[in-house]
Amino acid sequence: MRRVMTSAIVLALVAAARPAAGQTPAPGQRTGPEPFGIADNSFLVEEAFNQEPGIFQNIVNITRLADKWGFAFTQEWPVRSQAHQFSYTISFLDGIDKFGAGDTLINYRYQALSEGPGRPAFSPRASLVLPTGNTTERRGEGSYGLQINLPFSKQFNDTYLHWNAGFTWLPAAERPDSTAGEDDDENLLSPFVSLSAIYRLRPMFHLMLEQVVLFGESLADVSGTTRDTAYTLSPGFRAGWNVGDKQIVGGFAVPVTWVDGSSDVGVFLYFSYELPFRK
């Protein structure tokens, strides 16, 4: 269970520190009576809006779950237009004895559909997983990998709905205490699905309810792999402030994760700020 909880922390950090988008959707993405003043600042469920041209964004997430701390930083950039976006995510996690670097993600996201009447926004993402985390400390699995996510977003008046489906694939995960070399590597595939509702209580203050189901595959204690289902329900809120041509967003959530009949209550802190890089 502890390894699955650790996987849930990593998923939370990756999802929340994903390649984020501009705070306000482009005109073609807007529906409803008013556009949201804060957009694509969810915590666990990815929103389907790429970053606006000329703006880069920085995101910091701090997670406490199963007595383990996690920290992630993401910086993302539009590539020539809003259709293409590049970002990277670095993470730091509590290990068995030490706090240190986790795995790193290099992300690309494509704005395949802009939101319109009867049509959600759709922005698929592909991420390369770099094995920068220490396997002995269980801060990583020691394998290059791939993460795919398919996020959709649609506004209904003062409510935004977001839904995701994807997976993380690690083809050569290393057992922490292995001495057998590559023959002991395991292929891990962990699908996930998620859904969230964001309610605009005030223009710059939103209530959030996010749900994530992770079908996590992890290394068994001796040999082979094991699969557990982790369900996370996370109520929270976010607030934003516009300062000139910059926007700051902060948020807080209380994720509750259930695995094999046991539960753990965590804390999630979010902070982001966007800056123009050209006039």
Tell me if 78 sits within 8 A of 51, measured CB to CB: yes
Tell me if 16 sits within 8 A of 77, measured CB to CB: no
The pLDDT of 73-99, averaged and rounded, is 90
Span of 60-74, 172-186, 260-274 with lowest mean pLDDT: 172-186
pLDDT number for residue 54? 84
Q: In this model, does residue 28 exceed pLDDT 50?
A: no
Half-sphere exposure of residue 267, counting CA atoms within 13 Å on the CB side? 7
Identify the helix (H) or strand (E) that includes residue 64. strand 55-65
Strand duo 121-122 + 125-130: pairing: unpaired
**Three-state secondary structure call for residue 181:** helix
pLDDT number for residue 208? 97
Q: Tell me the per-residue pLDDT of 103-118, one tens digit each, with 9 for 90 and over.
A: 999 999 999 999 999 8
Q: Tell me the per-residue pLDDT of 155-210, one tens digit each, with 9 for 90 and over.
A: 999 999 999 999 999 999 988 766 545 567 899 999 999 999 999 999 999 999 99
- Name the token pair of 4: 């699955």
Q: How confident is the model at residue 1 (pLDDT cuts 50, 70, 90)?
A: low
pLDDT number for residue 163? 96
Distances (CA, A) of 111 to 19, 20, 45, 243, 274: 12, 12, 17, 27, 19
pLDDT number for residue 8? 54
CB atoms within 10 A of CB 108: 15
pLDDT number for residue 128? 95
DSSP 201-261: EETTEEEEEEEEEEEEEEE-SSSSEEEEEEEEEEEEEEEEEEETTEEEEEEEE--EEEETT
Mean pLDDT, the chain, as a whole number?
85
In 102-158, at which residue ranges do the beta strands (DSSP E only) sit? 104-110, 121-122, 125-130, 145-156
The CA-based diameter of the chain, rounded to the nearest angstrom, is 62
pLDDT number for residue 183? 62
DSSP 4-49: HHHHHHHHHHHHHTSS---SS--GGG--SSS--SS-S--SSS--S-
Question: What residue has token string 């300062």?
Answer: 243
- Name the token pair of 72: 């992630």
